[in-house]
Amino acid sequence: MSIIIRLAGITKVYQVGDESVHALDGINLSVEKNEYVAIMGPSGSGKSTLMNIVGCLDTPTSGLYELNGTNVSEMNDNQLAKVRNKEIGFVFQTFNLLARSDILHNVELPLIYGGISSSERKHMAREAIARVGLSDRIHHKPNELSGGQRQRVAIARALVTKPSILLADEPTGNLDSKTGNDIMALFDTLHKEGNTIVLVTHEEDIAEHAHREIRLRDGKVERDEPVKNRRIVQASSNVGVA
């Protein structure tokens, strides 16, 4: 199996006043293709910081980060933008959709920045929206959708460029448990279809969807092991995972 992500000795130090906060304190880990990883840990343990670094939104204070064998730490701004665009699909807890744009445009946006032609782009975006079951909402604005639907749009946007890895930072954190379950069912399907997924959660039953669980504490990997009681859940309703 090929290694997609390799982190070695990653640290992140925030300077708050004259105090140094070691948000990440020497992280070593690898993620292989088609793995399904849950990152757990108490609040403040560094989960988001780690995800942001893996997602190339943030840069580590020190350490090595290789994505598909390329050293990300040495990339310039434009190269990082390209990696974010092509290699990474990021799903946020707060959805982070463009409020003024409709669903189609939101999902199209990464392809616009990727320089894909208009007709191809529309086709790909519609396909991604169909996969999350929102084909009938294509021209709705985010504020006309429920939380679960918004997160589906965000997932479609993350998927649309066919990235090497899907990252999700507490994707169900803003959703009720039933809707959260639907979203997790969607992730399960995406994983079965061959996607590599890393998601952050602090809920045990969410983490149980994954195959591997990494526990962080105080910016260090406390535990890294396969999930024993894997949860195979069906979508609670016909949310149409196409």
Partner 1 sequence: MQFSEVLIMALAAIRANKLRSILTLLGIVVGVFSIIAVMTALQVLQNSIESGLSQLGAHTFQIQKMPVMSGREKWLKALKRKDITQMQAQRLKERMILAGLFSVEAWGDVQTVQSGSIKTNPNVGVVGEEPIGVAANNWIVKEGRSLSENDIQNSAYVAILGDDVARKVFPHGSAVGSIARIGNNRYTVIGVFEPKGNALGGNSDNFVVLPLSTFLQEYGKKRSLNIMIQAKNAETYEECMEEARNNLRTIRKVPPGDEDDFTLFSNDSLISTFNDFTIYVKLGVGFISFISLLAAGVGIMNIMLVSVTERTKEIGIRKAIGARRANILGQFIVEAVVLCQIGGIFGIIIGILGGNIAAIAFHMPAVFPVDWALIGFAITTLVGVIFGVYPAWKASNLDPIEALRFE
Ligand X SMILES: Nc1ncnc2c1ncn2[C@@H]1O[C@H](COP(=O)(O)OP(=O)(O)O)[C@@H](O)[C@H]1O
Residue numbers at the binding site for Mg ion (CB under 5 A): 48
Residue 44 within binding range of ligand X, rule CB under 6 A: yes
Residue 96 within binding range of partner 1, rule CB under 8 A: yes
Q: Which does 78 bind (CB under 5 to 8 A by kind): Mg ion, partner 1, ligand X, none?
A: partner 1
Residue 93 within binding range of ligand X, rule CB under 6 A: no
CA distances from residue 48 to 24, 102, 143, 144, 237 in whole angstroms, order as listed:
10, 28, 26, 28, 30
Round the CA-based radius of gyration of the chain to a whole number and report it.
Answer: 18
**Quick one: which of 22, 86, 122, 202 contacts partner 1 (CB under 8 A)?**
86
For partner 1, the closer CB: 28 or 101: 101
**Quick one: which of 100, 139, 192, 230 contacts partner 1 (CB under 8 A)?**
100
Helices (H) and strands (E) in the chain, counts: 7, 10
For Mg ion, the closer CB: 49 or 195: 49
> Which residue type, as a one-letter code, is found at position 108?
E
Query: Quick one: three-class SS letters along 150-205?
Result: HHHHHHHHHHCCCCCEEEEECCCCCCCHHHHHHHHHHHHHHHHCCCCEEEECCCHH
* Residues in contact with ligand X, shown as a per-residue x/- string from 48 to 77 under the rule CB under 6 A: xx----------------------------
**Quick one: which of 13, 21, 28, 58 contacts partner 1 (CB under 8 A)?**
58
User: Taking the complex as a whole, how short is the minimal distance between the CB of residue 12 and ligand X, in angstroms?
Assistant: 7
**Quick one: which of 1, 18, 19, 43 contacts ligand X (CB under 6 A)?**
43
Closest alpha carbon to 154 in 137, 142, 162, 163: 142
d(CA 122, CA 27): 40
Of 46-54, 113-121, 142-150, 160-168, the window that binds ligand X (rule: CB under 6 A) is: 46-54
Q: Which does 77 bind (CB under 5 to 8 A by kind): Mg ion, partner 1, ligand X, none?
A: partner 1
Residue 114 within binding range of partner 1, rule CB under 8 A: yes
Pairing of strands 36-40, 212-217: parallel
User: Taking the complex as a whole, how short is the minimal distance between the CB of residue 43 and Mg ion, in angstroms?
Assistant: 7
- First CA to last CA across the chain, in angstroms? 28
For Mg ion, the closer CB: 40 or 186: 40
Which residues have a Cβ under 8 Å from the Cβ of 81 and sit 6 or more positions away?
113
Q: Give the single-character DSSP code of 55.
A: T
User: Taking the complex as a whole, how short is the minimal distance between the CB of residue 38 and Mg ion, in angstroms?
Assistant: 14
Sites of contact with ligand X (CB under 6 A): 14, 16, 21, 23, 41, 43-49
